[in-house]
Amino acid sequence: MASAKTKSPSIVETDIEASASQGRSASPDPTDAAPLVHEGSVPDGPDSVFSPARTGVIVFIATLAAFISPMTANIFLPALPEVARDLNVTTEKINLAVFVYMIAQGISPLFLGGSDALGRRSIYLICFIIYSGANAGLANLANGDFAGLLVLRFMQACGSASMIAIGAGVVNDVCSSKNRGSFMSIVQAGSTLGPAIGPVLGGILAQGFGWRGIFWFTFILGALVLALVVVFLPETLAKARANRAIPILIRKAWIDLCLESRAEGKHDPASLQEATPTSTKSPHQSWRQRGHHALQACWTPFRALYVVGQPEIFLALVAFALPFACFYGLTVPLSSQFELRYGLSTLQSGLVFLAPGTGVSLGALISGRLLDRSFRKVQTQFDRERLAEDELEQERRQDELVAGRHDSVPSTDGRRDSHHTVVVSEPVSSTKARGLTKEEMTALFPLERARLEYYPHWTALMVVGFIGYGWTLNYNVYIAVPILFTFLQGFACGGQFGILGCVLVDYAGGKGASITAVNNLFRCLSGAVVSAVVQYIINGVGVGWTQTIFAFISLLAAGITLVMYRLGPGWRRSRFEAAAAKTRRRAGQVS
């Protein structure tokens, strides 16, 4: 611990830029931001059990998997008008394919996100089998089978939605804390490319091979990554790797089994046997235990929903969900609007998506750097204030010590007056007198001031982007102008998502994965609702007023962040003080 003259313990921020870049996935799919932690509280993990070359292969596979999820969400968008014509449905109905995809994307990680209990490799295998099967069905979908499209898109989302989160878990497994950030940024780079590249690929494939060509491509890509998982990706989670109840073919990569079988002189890798500890449990008990663990793994994510009861977290979730939904209100009808007003082909419509996709990526990157700068500024001010309080506390204790010595001198009658003696301990250092624990730091540090400083600026850009895009499109202004406004709107969205994603994980403390799952649920459900109704709104009031409505909704989200800024610190402090009082009462009862 530092002395009174040294800088007081402070909160440090980790992986800001990686956190912000995560917000650029799944058009966009913000996920994790690094929580605020007490300095030195994160131990350096052990070195990976895998060689550097093998770690590189594992991270490469995780990156490909992370790319698939947001790419699949966006690759279908340029082909929506063509699919509507082939299936004989209206534009309003074809948007339901986006609606069901986002519903599945929101809820499926709650069921398929149990990799912390079941292992990364087993969840990867399940997800890719579901994903590949759904793509094969979509590629062979008959004309007019609109119900089949909805069902298979739902399954496709179930197979792909959890891949980013699992990839983050894989990196956490195979990398120590000293190099985890660089590998995590590689995985996040894969998820970042998805929203930008997906629509372009979709436009090219639909133009050259028809919209079914999109799903043949995703089927081949999914099957290829599944093969890479089977052959090269071992189980990376240590407790799952050591669990002999999991079949060896699930826990080990095929290449490892082949090498082991060659070393043992066997020809069939699947025939390898492991020394399994003797157990007194019957097979029935063993399978019942496995079922219990599986159910527990599926139920665990639902327990994360309790955080919604904290007002600042609920407000942050809503503030995140509103602009996310508005962003989908811009991108979902993008192809049909540009095709209708400017006569673009499917390929050309896909290229239009480069503007908002690039804007989101760039906005999240810049937002991460601004968050870093703002945090350092507020942290320095906070440390300075705490140091001043430490010095005042030290002076007060010194004064009490002097006063105590003065009051204990003999009185005029020769007796020592002990009635007014002040009992003080010896002077203690600043960190002992005023040092804060991690929980105290989370409760007392001005998170909102550190994180929300630039949010109004991003909101202003977003409002300009929505209104400018809507009305230039409404009056058929030269095509470059509305495209420029889509870039501006995406740029602002990326900045906002980076800020709010970081705020959420800051609020959650060490439960970043749980809050990410809840945030995914909120934003996907809100995006699904807007995807289903946006075309009806455009038909009713026009594209200009539709985008103006979205601009006002963005202002509403900014108002929510203002409430967080004003009331959030008090809520956190009150909750911390209540918890501390409860702890003291329990300690008193025990004593």
Q: What is the pLDDT of residue 434?
A: 47
Regions of the chain short of the pLDDT cut 50: 1-47, 275-280, 283, 414-434
Same structural domain, 330 and 234: no
Cβ atoms of 74 and 31 within 8 Å: the answer is: no
Kind plus residue range of the DSSP H or E element containing 48: none
Cβ atoms of 501 and 23 within 8 Å: the answer is: yes
Same structural domain, 217 and 343: no
Contacts of 537 (CB under 8 A, 6+ apart): 546, 549
What gap in Å lies between CA 316 and CA 570, rounded to an integer? 15
SS3 call for 37: strand
Instruction: Calculate the alpha carbon distances from 134 to 45, 110, 215, 278 in Å.
Output: 39, 20, 9, 41
On whether residue 261 sits in a domain, the answer given is no
Q: Is the pTM of this model over 0.85?
A: no
Same structural domain, 133 and 219: yes
Which phi and psi (to 5°) does residue 346 adopt? -60, -40
The number of folded domains in the chain is 2
What gap in Å lies between CA 217 and CA 205, rounded to an integer? 8
Same structural domain, 180 and 312: no
**For 99-119, what is each residue's pLDDT tens digit?**
899 888 888 877 665 555 567
**Token pair 């793994």 is at which residue?**
297
What gap in Å lies between CA 488 and CA 478, rounded to an integer? 16
On whether residue 576 sits in a domain, the answer given is yes
On whether residue 364 sits in a domain, the answer given is yes
Strands 37-38 vs 11-12: parallel, antiparallel or unpaired = antiparallel
**For 8-57, what is each residue's pLDDT tens digit?**
333 333 333 333 334 333 334 433 333 333 333 333 444 457 788 888 88
- Residue ranges of alpha helices (H) inside 210-310 are 211-232, 238-241, 248-251, 254-264, 283-299
Cβ atoms of 390 and 46 within 8 Å: the answer is: no
On whether residue 333 sits in a domain, the answer given is yes
**CATH number of domain containing 356:** 1.20.1250.20
Question: Can the peptide bond before residue 482 be classed as cis, meaning omega within 30 degrees of 0?
Answer: no
Q: What is the pLDDT of residue 308?
A: 78
Rg for the chain, CA atoms, rounded: 28
What gap in Å lies between CA 143 and CA 88, rounded to an integer? 8
Same structural domain, 228 and 353: no
On whether residue 262 sits in a domain, the answer given is no
Contacts of 4 (CB under 8 A, 6+ apart): 390, 391, 394, 429, 430, 431
What gap in Å lies between CA 469 and CA 481, rounded to an integer? 8
Q: How many residues does the chain have?
A: 591
Q: What is the pLDDT of residue 51?
A: 80
- The boundaries of the domain holding residue 93 are 52-243
**Token pair in block for residue 514:** 């749980």
